[in-house]
Structure 1
Amino acid sequence: MPTTPTAAQARGYADRMLVEIAAALLDRDQRRYRVVCEQVYASTLDQRAVDDAVSHALEQAVQHAWNSNWRPVELDHTLRRFAARAGAPKSAGNWMAQLLTDVTAGRMRVHDPAAVDPRWTAELSVLDATVWWTGDDGHLAQFGRRHSLDRLKVLGGAFELMRWLYQELPPLERAGHAPGSPARQRRATSEATDGADRRMLDRIRALLAKAESTDFPEEAEAFTAKAQQLMARHSIDHALVDAASGMSDGPETRRIVIANPYEGPKAMLLQVVAEANRCRALNFKDLGLSTIVGFGPDLDAVEMLYTSLLVQAIHAMTAANPRADRYGRNDVRSFRQAFLSAYAHRIGERLTEVREEVDAEVAAAGTDLVPVLAARSEAVDTAFEDLFPHRVSRTSRIANAAGWASGRAAADRAELAVRNPLPAG
C-alpha cells in the first residue's frame, strides 16, 4: 500500500522536477520542458512543497539572468516589452512583471545588503521589490490571491517566466556588479574627495530640477547651461587628478532603459549627450536599452543630463501644436518623431559648444589639458571598440518637416552655450 510522502520527501520530489525543467530549458529541449511542466500540474504532492520548489527555481533563474549582466529595471522593462510584442493583454504583462519583482525581492534575501552595489539597491527601490508575503501559505499561493489568479495560472506564469529568463535573454556586457559577483576593484579615494563629489552632484541635480520645473525657457536655459558647465569642469578636475597621480579606474559601462514611444529619437538624444561628454553610446533597438561607455564622472553627467533634457524635450513637444498640412492631415506621431529627432540633433551641437568653451577656459589658464583629454578619449574609444566590434549603424528618415523645424526651434530656445552670467547654483 503506497504511503504519503513526508513534507521533506515531497519537497525533494518537487525540487527534482523543477531541476529537470531548468535543465530542459538550458538544453533548449522544448519537448522535455513541456512534459515535466505537465507532470507538475498533475502532481499529487503537497501544494506547498511544489510551490516552494517553484519559487526556489524562479530565484535560480533570476540569478542566472543577473550572472548574464541583466539588472532589475532592465528585466522589468524587457519583460513588459516582450509580453506586449507577444500580444499578451496588458494585465497579464503587469502581473508577470510583478511576479518577477517578487522573485527578485526573494532572491535578494540570500545576499548581504552591505555588499550590494548602491545602484542596484536604488533599482530595487524603484521597482518596490520587497518581501510582502508572510505566513505558512508560501509566496505563490498568496500571489494568486492578491492578483485573483488560480493556482494553475500562477504555475503557468512561473514556468513561462523561467523559460523567458533562460532562453529569451542574450548575455549583456557587464555594467556594475550583480549580487553574488565580485565587485570591480577601484582606487581608494579620501573622504574629502568623495564628499566634494557628492556635493557637486547634488548641486548639479538641483540645477537640473529647477530647469525641469520652470515654465520659462530663459530660466531653463540658464539652469541647464550652469549644470552643463559644472559637469564639464568636474570632469576636467577628475581627468587632471588622474593624470597627475598616474592612476585611474579606467572607462566603465552603464546601461539606460529607452522606453516607448519614440525610442529612436530618445536613443539619439542619449547618444549626443554622451558624445558631448566624452562618452560613447550604442542602442540595442530590439531590447529597448542603450549602453554608454566612459569614465565615471562623465557617465554621471550623461545620466543626469539625459534624464533632465528628456523631461524638457517632452514638455516642449507636448506644448507644440502640429497644424494640419495642405491635405488636411495632422499626423501627431510623425510630427513628434521629427520634433524629438531635431531636438536631439540641435542639443548635441549646443552641449558640445559648452564643453569646448570650458575646455578653452581651462587651457587658457595655463593647464596642459589637450594630451590629458586625448588620452581619456582614446581609452574610451578602445573600450567601446573592444565591447562592440561588430556594431551596425542605422539611419532614419524624417518624414515631417514641420516637426523637425519645431524641434530644432525648441532646442534653440533651450540653447546651452554660456553667453551671459549664470545664476549661482
Structure 2
Amino acid sequence: MSTTSTVERAFRAALYADTDTALDTGASLLAADPSADAELARRGEEFVAGAWRRGWQPADLVRIVRRELDDVHIRLVSSLIRSQAPYDRPRGPRWTAQLAQLAQPDGPTDTAPPRTDRFAHATAVLELYRLLLRLPALEPLEEPRQEPHREQRPESRMLSRIRALLAKAEATGFPQEAEALSAKAQELMARHSIDEALLSAGAPAGDVPGACRIGVEPPYEQAKAVLLDAVAGANHCRAVWNEPLGFSTVVGFEADLEAVELLYTSLLVQAQTAMTKAEAAQRAGGRKRTKTFRQSFLAAYAHRIGTHLTAAAETQVAADLLPVLATREIAVSDSLDRLFPQTTTTRLRGVSDAAGWTEGSEAADRAQVRARRPLR
C-alpha cells in the first residue's frame, strides 16, 4: 500500500465528516503507517497554501486555530506555516513580520509539537486539517510594495511582542496572570513610546491605501470592536468587524495603519488595568461585579476614548492640509467599498450596568492619549 493511498484513505474517512468515529478511523490508518508521515506533512503545507489563496494570512490562521482548537493545534499550524514559507512568494513586510512572530520566544511556536503517541498526534493533525479545509474565503489584502532600501522598523517588532502578551492576557482565566501580562505590555510601551513609533512611520509606499487585520478577541469583543473603530476613525482609517472570525479589517494609508495598531494595543492594556482596579474597588465596597459590569465598562471606555481621539485629531490638522486629507479619505473609502461592497451595522448588547459605564468613562478620561505632531 502506498503512503499516498494511506493519507487519502484517512482524509476520506476523517476530513469530510464531523463524527468522532470518522476521526478515529482516519487517525488509526495514519498511526499504523509511519511511512505516511512525510506525505501527511506535505499535504498540510498544501492546505496552508490553499488558505493563502483564499485570502488568509499567517496571523489569521493562528488566531482561528486558537479560537477553535487547542494549544497542540496552534503549534502544529505554526510549524506548517514555517515549513511552507520557503516555497511561497514574497508577500510584503506585514506578512514577513507575521512569520517572524511565529519564531519569537514568546510566540506560539517556542517549543516543537509534542509527540505523545502516534494515534493522538494523527488525531490532532486531522482535526487541524478539517479546520483548514473548511476555512471560508476572505477579502485579499494586497500590501503596498516596500522600497528596497527600507527595512522593518524596531517598533514593529516590539508591537508584535506586545500583541503576544495581550493575547495571553486575554486568554488566561487567572486575573493575577492577566494583570501581570498587561503590566509587562505597558512596560514595553513605556520603553518604546507610541509617539516615537508614530513619528518614525514613513510615507505610504506607492501613496495608496492598504489594509490589515487586527484580532478582536473574546471576551467583550463587541466593545473592543467599537474601541478599534474609534481609533481607526480618528487616524483617517476605516474598520469593518468580522464577528464570526474574530477580527476587524482596517483600511488606510500605511503610516495610519501602524498608528491604529499601536494605539489600539495601548488602550486595550490601559482598559484592562483600569477595569481590574475598578472591580477590586467595587468588591471592597461589598458590591459584586458581573459580566454586565465589564461589558458596560469597556463600552463606556470605547465611547469616551473615541470622543477624545477625534477632538485631538482635529486640533492637529492645519487648514491648508484639509484638501489633502479629504483626498486621502476618499481613497480610503473607495478601497473599503472595493473590499466590502456590502456591510451592516450592529447594536452593542449588554450595556446596562450604570456603575460599569461610569467607571469606564472615568478610566477613559485618565487614559494616556498623546496627540500626534501637527501635520505640516
TM-score by length of 2: 0.76
Q: Spell out the pairing of 1:157-176 with structure 2 (5 A cutoff).
A: 157-167=124-134, 169-175=135-141
CA root-mean-square deviation = 4.2
| Number of the residue aligned with 2:338 | 386
Shift of 1:131: 9.1
Q: 1:203 to 1:157 in 2, by over 3 A?
A: closer
Q: Spell out the pairing of 1:295-334 with structure 2 (5 A cutoff).
A: 295-320=253-278, 321=280, 323=282, 330-334=288-292
Q: 1:371 to 1:289 in 2, by over 3 A?
A: same
Structure 2 unaligned residues grouped into runs of 5+: 161-182
Shift of 1:318: 0.9
SS in 2 for 1:342: helix
| Number of the residue aligned with 2:363 | 410
| Number of the residue aligned with 2:85 | 108
1:153 aligns with 2:127: no
Q: 1:291 to 1:23 in 2, by over 3 A?
A: farther
Q: 1:254 to 1:152 in 2, by over 3 A?
A: same
1:75 aligns with 2:67: no
Q: 1:281 to 1:353 in 2, by over 3 A?
A: same
1:253 aligns with 2:242: no
Q: 1:36 to 1:381 in 2, by over 3 A?
A: same
1:212 aligns with 2:186: yes
Shift of 1:70: 1.8
TM-score by length of 1: 0.68
Q: Deviations over 1:367-402 (max 9, x none)?
A: x31211111101111111221122221111411111
Give the Cα separation in 1 of the matches to 2:79 and 2:9. Answer: 23
Q: Deviations over 1:99-121 (max 9, x none)?
A: 22222232234358898843233
1:66 aligns with 2:19: no
Match of 1:401 among 341, 349, 354: 354
Q: 1:322 to 1:382 in 2, by over 3 A?
A: farther
Q: 1:310 to 1:186 in 2, by over 3 A?
A: same
Q: 1:406 to 1:284 in 2, by over 3 A?
A: same
Q: Spell out the pairing of 1:203-352 with structure 2 (5 A cutoff).
A: 212-213=186-187, 227=195, 231=198, 238=203, 248-320=206-278, 321=280, 323=282, 330-352=288-310
| Number of the residue aligned with 1:186 | 145
SS in 2 for 1:389: coil
Match of 2:98 among 101, 117, 120: 120
Letter of the 1:106 counterpart: S
Give the Cα separation in 1 of the matches to 2:305 and 2:287. Answer: 29
Q: 1:251 to 1:332 in 2, by over 3 A?
A: same
Shift of 1:254: 0.2
CA contact (8 A) 1:277 1:301 kept: yes
Give the Cα separation in 1 of the matches to 2:338 and 2:317. Answer: 28
Q: 1:399 to 1:212 in 2, by over 3 A?
A: same
Q: 1:123 to 1:69 in 2, by over 3 A?
A: farther
CA contact (8 A) 1:350 1:417 kept: no
Give the Cα separation in 1 of the matches to 2:128 and 2:158. Answer: 42
**Which deviates further from its counterpart, 333-342 or 267-276?**
333-342
Match of 1:18 among 2, 7, 20: 7
SS in 2 for 1:291: strand
Give the Cα separation in 2 of the matches to 1:30 and 1:199. Answer: 46
Q: 1:251 to 1:115 in 2, by over 3 A?
A: closer
| Number of the residue aligned with 1:53 | 39
Structure 1 unaligned residues grouped into runs of 5+: 1-9, 84-92, 133-142, 177-183, 243-247
SS in 2 for 1:323: helix
Q: Deviations over 1:249-272 (max 9, x none)?
A: 311110011222221111111110
SS in 2 for 1:359: coil
Give the Cα separation in 2 of the matches to 1:408 and 1:38. Answer: 55
Q: Deviations over 1:217-246 (max 9, x none)?
A: xx9xxx77xx29x84x778x948xx9xxxx
SS in 2 for 1:369: helix
Give the Cα separation in 1 of the matches to 2:264 and 2:96. Answer: 21
Give the Cα separation in 2 of the matches to 1:52 and 1:199. Answer: 37
Q: 1:301 to 1:97 in 2, by over 3 A?
A: same
**Count of residues in Structure 1 that have an aligned counterpart in Structure 2:** 344
Q: 1:159 to 1:94 in 2, by over 3 A?
A: same
SS in 1 for 2:282: coil
CA contact (8 A) 1:102 1:130 kept: no
Q: 1:154 to 1:342 in 2, by over 3 A?
A: same
Letter of the 2:36 counterpart: V
Letter of the 1:411 counterpart: A
Q: 1:374 to 1:203 in 2, by over 3 A?
A: farther
CA contact (8 A) 2:297 2:356 kept: yes
Give the Cα separation in 1 of the matches to 2:159 and 2:141. Answer: 24
**Which deviates further from its counterpart, 404-413 or 121-130?**
121-130
1:97 aligns with 2:74: yes
Letter of the 1:323 counterpart: Q
